[in-house]
Structure 1
Amino acid sequence: GGERYFFCNELNEKGEAVTWQGRQYQAYPIDGSGFEMNGKGSSARPSLTVSNLFGLVTGMAEDLQSLVGATVVRRRVYARFLDAVNFVAGNPEADPEQELTDRWVVEQMSSLTAMTASFVLATPTETDGALFPGRIMLANTCMWDYRGDECGYNGPAVADEFDNPTTDIRKDRCS
């Protein structure tokens, strides 16, 4: 629930709010850092700093528990793919499919001043109480049908049901 805000840190070439996929993103001072993805170690904890112009964030922080748990969607789009309305001469390359989207959750408000508010973000899986793995993992046991849709193996024959090597696809079995 609650209101949704759509910000971009600059104006389009016409000096207006940026339009992406038909939605206007208001120019608002915003800066993000530390956005990185890797498969090793702990997840990134990017920070997001926004202007607190006119006390906008102060009001939201007071009413909404410092915005902890709020979803932040980061959309990355090359300017050349933006909607045609952003350009004086239109845009023949406009393509609403050309975006990279990341979802983050506000983990904590790290600072709030009259000028800015800063937040620490986390991945949704780290804030929703989910535990990995989502199913029981058993060693030396496969829960899929061998060569079935879920199995994912469709290579050459390997072994029969007794683990004897075979090249005969009819004798190929999972032991």
Structure 2
Amino acid sequence: MGINADVQKLEVGSVVELFELDASNIGGIVQRFHGYNQSSPIWWKGQQYDPWAIEAEGFEQTGEGEQPTPTLRVGNIVEQEDGTSLVGIISALCLVLDDLVGARLVVRRTLGKYLDARNFPEGNPTASPDEQLPDEIWIVQQKTAETREFVEFELSSALDFSGQMLPGRQIIAGVCGWLTKGGYRGTYCGYTGSRMFDIQGNPVSDPTLDRCSGLISDCKKRFGEYEVINFGGFPSADRIRG
């Protein structure tokens, strides 16, 4: 029994919600955090999610064409190692990165019993990196409020951001649709290999530099030039004439 069976039970268990803010496409870095009232990080799939003051609203899924615009309120004060408070940490980030517009927020959900063993003093025999609900991907649309205590952002669905309408996918010639549906190395992409390349297609050995441009050439580099690939685009779409 996995997470899909668990969520159908009357008593689901402890659902754990984790956030990944990827600002690498706008000149920033990838940051991972959780909003629970604990001072320690949460480890999931070998990645560290640090504690942060977060209020998330409106993260609902819908089968309608028009997608919701949730809000993410993030604490603007961080406590430093010496015990002092640093005010305006998110405001400073907004100044440098144009209010984080265009950054990608990935919401990940699993159950507590599947978290990495290092979260538990005695280990976790039920830990499983494969047991999770599908990732939700959102794009920072605009900053809507800013105070000394918090900064609030409005998000849009990655589906809306790319002009995609449910239930189908937007037909784009030569660009992989999995970048906005699950992301690179996500459920739909399916790539789990060791070959890594940066956004320009150059070989790299550092996992933090591993990025996919969405081009079919990048897909072939990873899966193999003459192997079956899982390209999520429509290479022949630009050949169709009305």
In the aligned structure 2, how far is the partner of 1:88 from the partner of 1:66? 39
Q: Tell me, yes or no, if the aligned pair for 1:49 and 1:116 is still in contact at 8 Å.
A: yes
Query: Which letter does structure 2 place at the counterpart of 1:21?
Result: K
In the aligned structure 2, how far is the partner of 1:129 from the partner of 1:43? 11
- The aligned counterpart of 1:9 is 35
Query: Which letter does structure 2 place at the counterpart of 1:5?
Result: Q
Name segments (4+ residues, structure 1) moved above 4 Å: 129-133
Q: Give 1:16 deviation, angstroms.
A: 2.3
Match of 1:51 among 64, 75, 99: 75
In the aligned structure 2, how far is the partner of 1:18 from the partner of 1:117? 23
CA distances 1:147-169 after superposition (whole Å, capped 9, x unpaired): xxxxxxxxxxxxxxxxxxxxxxx
In the aligned structure 2, how far is the partner of 1:11 from the partner of 1:26? 11
- The aligned counterpart of 2:120 is 87
Structure (1 or 2) with the larger CA radius of gyration: 1
Match of 1:134 among 165, 171, 195: 171
In the aligned structure 1, how far is the partner of 2:65 from the partner of 2:141? 19
State the number of aligned residues.
Answer: 133
In the aligned structure 1, how far is the partner of 2:47 from the partner of 2:93? 22
- The aligned counterpart of 1:60 is 93
In the aligned structure 1, how far is the partner of 2:170 from the partner of 2:42? 41
Q: Tell me, yes or no, if the aligned pair for 1:20 and 1:96 is still in contact at 8 Å.
A: yes
In the aligned structure 1, how far is the partner of 2:153 from the partner of 2:131? 28
CA distances 1:111-144 after superposition (whole Å, capped 9, x unpaired): 0111001111101232245687527xxxxxxxxx
Q: TM-score, normalised by structure 1?
A: 0.70
Q: Tell me, yes or no, if the aligned pair for 2:71 and 2:152 is still in contact at 8 Å.
A: yes
Q: RMSD between aligned alpha carbons? A: 2.0
Query: Which letter does structure 2 place at the counterpart of 1:124?
Result: A
Match of 2:131 among 95, 98, 101: 98
Give the fraction of aligned pairs with identical amino acids, expressed as a percent: 32
- The aligned counterpart of 1:38 is 62
Query: Which letter does structure 2 place at the counterpart of 1:58?
Result: S
- The aligned counterpart of 1:118 is 152
In the aligned structure 2, how far is the partner of 1:106 from the partner of 1:92? 37
Matched, 1:70 2:96: no
In the aligned structure 2, how far is the partner of 1:133 from the partner of 1:52? 37
Q: Give 1:49 deviation, angstroms.
A: 0.7
Q: The residue matched to 1:61 in structure 2 has which SS? A: helix
Matched, 1:20 2:44: yes
In the aligned structure 1, how far is the partner of 2:117 from the partner of 2:158? 33
User: Structure 1: which 5+ runs fail to align?
Assistant: 136-175
Q: Tell me, yes or no, if the aligned pair for 2:66 and 2:160 is still in contact at 8 Å.
A: no
In the aligned structure 2, how far is the partner of 1:99 from the partner of 1:30? 21
Structure number with higher helix proportion:
2
| Cα separation, partners in 2 of 1:133 and 1:71, compared to 1, 3 Å | closer
